[in-house]
Structure 1
Amino acid sequence: MDGLYEAFLNALRSISVSQILDVVVVSFLFFKIYNLIKETRAEQLLKGIILIFFIIPISEFFNLTMLHWILNNTITIGLLSFVIIFQPEVRRALEKIGRTSIFDKNVQLDKEEKNKLISNITDAVDNLSLSRTGALIMVEQKTGLGEIINTGTRLDALISSSLLENIFVVNTPLHDGACIIRDKRIIAAGCFVPSLTTNGSIGQHLGTRHRAAISASENSDAIVIVVSEETGIISLAINGKLLRNYNKEKLRNVLLAFMEKNERDNIGVGEKVKQWIKKRKNS
């Protein structure tokens, strides 16, 4: 027992700081990669690849020549197929890695400004719902929506409930498209959003506007608000999922929660240190 304990201590002494750092960095990278693809189609394929990596040494140990050859070639072809088949997921993952800020990290809103901003959006959506006026509103976050913005008409106007409602009045030039909100401004309206979604579970009763909302949320982290023209139902599309039957208060709570989370995420290291020091002093 003493010999085993001594061997364990010797093994610990032989580990250098750089080796520990190496393990931590690699573990962190694998963790982030998994978070990027979890709850997507690529997650199941990744599990299959990991399983194959475990089976390969077993097949070699038991001298299963044919199985070993098949598994080795499957990995080679599978990695290439992964990039081709799951190109949308890979693209979203790379976009997440390189994202900038949300609601713009340079724009810090006080409580009154937040409430006013959210009230303007929710009041407009509620009125559009009551009048059964179809609407598609995208609130930009970390992923830039420049490609979509360029397909519409630039407004760059302060957000107001009356302006949002007027944009979607039927038979007006900008009603049949998406309205893009960035920070405290309506950047563009009448924007074209492709309705090509990878979500195969969408019901046939959902129209082009809802499909476009899901597609937009699959390819960005935008919060997409949809008002049905037929029923007036308010829906939210987030991360490729459509959440139905929202009311004014529920929508307000979601927008407020996202805005507060975004502001916390955008706090720099220096500011976090200051907050920690202040908290220590108060305690």
Structure 2
Amino acid sequence: MEFMHIANSAIKGMTIWSVLDIIVVSYIFYKGYMLIKETRAVQLLKGILLIILLIPISDFLHLTMLNWILQRTITIGVLSIIIIFQPEIRRALEQLGRSAFNENHILENEAEYEKIINEIVNSVGNLSEQKTGALIIIEQKTGLEDIISTGTKIDAIVSAALLENIFVVNTPLHDGATIIRNGRIAAAGCFLPLTSNNDLNKKLGTRHRAGIGISENSDGLVIIVSEETGNISLAINGKLTRDYSKEKLKAILMRIIRIRYSRKTALKEKVKRWRKAGKNK
């Protein structure tokens, strides 16, 4: 009855701002869960929830020592959570910082981008046939200047011939990653962070782990060619999909580009309508 009285009082005192507050908090919790879904952080979160659940139970059963230990664990755990969830927190802040109006590293012309994708796909197809390892990153909203600085800056037009030449075995730049920014080859021979995901297939080599690692820390499109099998893989947002043909790779890249351009166009149209409505007032 007491619970029903509290619930009834809360409902009567609700305003539109209370509803908005609940929706915003729910959305934040949802996005937080989606961020750590299928990662090791989920298991840690389950452990924390179990401790929180045991505190009132231990208090109700008068388990004084257990209750004292659990409460101290939660107190110390606040700092521990920040340390343990550091990769997830960093990724969340990076996603928040990706503004729809901040696309300095992305070409404005979709047709021009299609030409560049054709050059990339043709080079990847040839490298695959030759079983020459390759790692190419197409930069998106997240800037990769820190990664570019680890390699050799090139600033050249994207061409299949140049990309193939970069990855020729035993040449100085073949063993690193090549970054494509704003429709140009920005740098080659770049060093990437390796993924810390221990659940990956043990057969995946350093090149694939590096590709997954940079896709976990940015929204870049990462294309990987296996040196052992010649298989073409694509890593996006920490997820690796394998066994692409030239046609399939081009189709998925163009689909991503078209979705991005359609969203960008829709946002620009909304801004125009808002500005027009403001002037009319």
Alpha-carbon separation, structure 2, partners of 1:192 and 1:106: 22
Alpha-carbon separation, structure 2, partners of 1:165 and 1:151: 21
Q: Is the 8 A contact 1:177 1:190 kept in 2?
A: yes
CA displacement at 1:181 relative to structure 2? 1.2
**Residue by residue, what CA displacement relative to the aligned partner does 1:231-255 show, whole Å, maximum 9, x if unpaired?**
2111122233332211111111221
CA displacement at 1:227 relative to structure 2? 1.0
Q: Match of 1:218, SS?
A: helix
Alpha-carbon separation, structure 2, partners of 1:103 and 1:248: 27
Residue 58 (structure 1) aligned with residue 20 (structure 2): no
Residue 176 (structure 1) aligned with residue 164 (structure 2): no
Q: Which residue pairs with 2:24 in the alignment?
A: 25
CA displacement at 1:133 relative to structure 2? 1.5
Pair 1:106–1:228, CA change in 2 (3 A): closer
Q: Match of 1:188, SS?
A: strand
Match of 2:236 among 238, 254, 260: 238
In the TM superposition, 1:188-227 aligns within 5 A as 188-194=187-193, 196-227=194-225
Q: Which residue pairs with 1:252 in the alignment?
A: 250
Q: Which residue pairs with 2:36 in the alignment?
A: 37
**Residue by residue, what CA displacement relative to the aligned partner does 1:71-109 show, whole Å, maximum 9, x if unpaired?**
212222333222223322332222222234686487332
Q: Match of 1:235, SS?
A: strand
Q: Which residue pairs with 2:107 in the alignment?
A: 107
CA displacement at 1:63 relative to structure 2? 3.3
CA displacement at 1:225 relative to structure 2? 1.0
Q: Match of 1:63, SS?
A: coil
Alpha-carbon separation, structure 2, partners of 1:154 and 1:105: 16
Q: Is the 8 A contact 1:136 1:178 kept in 2?
A: yes
Alpha-carbon separation, structure 2, partners of 1:97 and 1:28: 14
Alpha-carbon separation, structure 2, partners of 1:203 and 1:19: 47
Alpha-carbon separation, structure 2, partners of 1:105 and 1:77: 42
Q: Is the 8 A contact 1:141 1:221 kept in 2?
A: yes
- The TM-score, its normalising length taken from structure 2, stands at 0.82
Q: Match of 1:236, SS?
A: strand
Show structure 2 runs of 5+ residues with no match: 275-281
Note the aligned Cα RMSD (angstroms).
2.8
Pair 1:200–1:105, CA change in 2 (3 A): closer
Pair 1:228–1:11, CA change in 2 (3 A): closer
Show structure 1 runs of 5+ residues with no match: 277-283
Q: Match of 2:230, SS?
A: coil
Q: Which residue pairs with 1:139 in the alignment?
A: 138
Q: Match of 1:243, SS?
A: strand
CA displacement at 1:269 relative to structure 2? 4.3
